[in-house]
Structure 1
Amino acid sequence: MEVLDLSYELSNLRYRGVTLNLDEKMQLEMALHQLHTDQAKEADELLFWGKITGIKNDYFVAMSVTYQGQFEFPFKRFYWCLSNDFSFKEMPDLNDQHKDFINNDTSYFVGEPSKKLIQPAEGEEAGEDPKEDEGEEGEEGGKKELDSDVSEQEEVKVPHKDLVEIDRLKYVVLAIENDCQIAPVGAFKMTSQHQVRRNEAFKGLDAKSSCDLRNYAHFRNVQSDEKKKRLDEPSAPFGRNFLEQ
Structure 2
Amino acid sequence: MDSQTLYFSLELVAGSGHILNIEQRTALQTSLMILRKNYKFGRVLFWGKILGLKEDYFIAQGRGEDELKDKKNLYSFNCMDWFLLPPATNCLINEVSKAARGRFIGDPSHVYERVLRIHLEDDEEHEEVVKVSEENRLAVTIHWIDEEASVVPRGAFIKNPHGIVQMNRSFCGLSDSEARKLDSFLHFREPRNQKESILGMCELNQTIDFLDVLSDDIPKGSWSLQFECARKVCVLRSLLWLGLTFYHVPVTPHNGYIYIGNGYRNLDLNFML
Aligned to 1:88: 82
Q: 1:101 to 1:190 in 2, by over 3 A?
A: same
How far is the alpha carbon of 1:225 from its aligned partner?
A: 7.4
Judge conservation of contact 2:96–2:136 (CA < 8 Å) in 1.
no
The answer as to whether partners of 1:189 and 1:237 remain within 8 angstroms in 2 is no
Give 1:110's aligned amino acid. Answer: I
Q: Which residue of 1 aligns with 2:172?
A: 203
The structure-2 alpha-carbon separation of the partners of 1:239 and 1:44, relative to structure 1 and needing over 3 Å to count, comes to same
Q: Which protein has the bigger strand share?
A: 2
Report how far residue 5 of structure 1 moved.
1.2
Q: CA deviation at 1:86?
A: 3.1
Superimposed CA distance per residue, residues 117-161 of structure 1 (whole angstroms, 9 cap, x where no aligned partner): 12789xxxxxxxxxxxxxxxxxxxxxxxxxxxxxxxxxxxxxx87
Query: Amino acid of the residue matched to residue 243 of structure 1?
Result: L
Distance, in Å, in 1 between the alignment partners of 2:205 and 2:71 is 21
Q: Is the 8 A contact 1:57 1:82 kept in 2?
A: yes
Partner residue of 2:131 out of 162, 184, 199: 162
Distance (Å, rounded) in 1 between the aligned partners of 2:161 and 2:6: 33
Kindly state the Cα deviation for residue 89 of structure 1 after the two structures are TM-superposed: 1.1
- How much is the aligned-residue C-alpha RMSD, in angstroms? 2.7
Count of residues paired in the alignment: 193
Alignment correspondent of 1:155: none
For the Cα contact (< 8 Å) 1:183–1:219, is it kept in 2? Answer: yes
Residue aligned with 2:3, SS: coil
Structure of higher CA gyration radius: 1
Name which of structure 1's ranges 194-203 and 171-180 shifts more when overlaid on structure 2. Answer: 194-203
The answer for unaligned runs of 5 or more in structure 1 is 122-159, 231-235
Bigger relative contact order (CA 8 A; separation at least 6): 2
2:95 to 86, 93, 98: 98
Amino acid at match of 2:175: D
Mapped contact 1:51–1:61 kept (Cα < 8 A): yes
Identical-pair percentage: 24
Amino acid at match of 1:108: R
| SS class of match (1:117) | strand
The correspondence of residues 147-158 of structure 1 with structure 2, limited to 5 A, is none
Describe the superposition over 1:165-199 as per-residue Cα deviations: whole angstroms up to 9, x where unpaired. Answer: 11111111100000001111111112122222222
Runs ≥4 residues deviating over 6 A? none
